[in-house]
Amino acid sequence: MKYFERWSGVCLQNIAEEIIEFTDRSEAMALLGERDEYIRVLMENFDARFISRGEALEISGEASAVEPAAKIIRELQYLYRQGNAITMHEVRYSIGLVKGGKGEALHSLFGDTILVTSRGRHVRPKTLGQRVYVDAIKKNSITFGVGPAGTGKTYLAVVLACAALRNREVERLILTRPAVEAGEKLGFLPGDLQEKVDPYLRPLYDALQDIIGQELYQKLMAKGVIEIAPLAYMRGRTLENAYVILDEAQNTTSKQMKMFLTRLGFGSKMVVTGDPGQIDLPRGVTSGLLEATQVLKNVKGIEIVKMEAMDVIRHDVVARIVEAYDRYEERQRDE
């Protein structure tokens, strides 16, 4: 038996107790965390007593602390039984939702799997922002995913595209990016044009290979079912029965964005992703992404989803590093 306690010293008024039973020790370990790290995080946020009894967890104390803590464990249990791994992200994000009064969103958030990757990993939305983004892509012809790096904008778009390809909703998948020079001139890089632009497209290659596997990726590339090309290659084409993703769209010009969007053909779907905080265009050049989100915000069939910092999926240590730097920079400003 493991006993965890953190009391505030306040006299208890409304006592409650919850007992959560696990299928086996593997499930208990997955939900309590290695060396009970997830329980310790719950202790930091809810003033309750946690007692681990092998294949069961007992939570007792004030109802205001016990009930939300038990709800989180049960939702994580549901997620685990759907075949998903539990990480510190799921634990901390669940706590944030419950403490923010959005606990009712947990069950729907941790619901459907979009796709199972070649490695057997279940891909699903991990934040409310990601859920809104996925739903928007499914129901619109053109979707803009705008937000900071790490929010899963590109990866989720590629996952949905691969699912559409697998379900024969489209005949091909086209991924593109603007090849904006950042520090090096393309003309000075070695190789032919394709070799010069390949580094700009590498994140798209990596995402696809992770999702469908190296072997299938190469087969579909060879058959032309999957095409990865710089944005300039889209000019003059009409893209029908295709799933088209424009990544790093903050680095498009106004003309490039208009050119791209007007390539949409029958039976096609477009997803445009970008981070306004990472514009590499020359000074004075308007970002096509920023302009488009203003011009098209009320156009039927187009939805603009803005993701926030809380949608960033970070390793727990990275999150602490970012928080430490934020505190440091705030002190510097104060001084």
Q: What is the pLDDT of residues 3-36, one digit of tens each?
A: 555 555 545 567 889 999 999 999 999 999 988 8
Question: Residue 252 — pLDDT band, cuts 50, 70, 90?
Answer: very high
- Domains of the chain plus CATH, in order, are 2-109 (3.30.1370.10), 115-311 (3.40.50.300)
Q: What is the pLDDT of residue 183?
A: 38
Q: Does residue 278 have a pLDDT over 90?
A: no
Paired tokens of 311: 């949608």
pTM beyond 0.85, yes or no: no
Q: Does residue 168 have a pLDDT over 70?
A: yes
Q: What is the pLDDT of residue 232?
A: 84
Nearest residue to 309 via CA among 129, 132, 136, 158: 129
| Predicted confidence (pLDDT) per residue in 174-216, tens digit | 999 887 644 334 444 455 555 656 666 777 788 888 899 999 9
Sheet holding 269-274, edge to edge: 226-230, 172-177, 242-246, 269-274, 142-146, 302-306
Integer Cα distance of 132 and 158 in angstroms: 16
Higher pLDDT, 255 or 182: 255
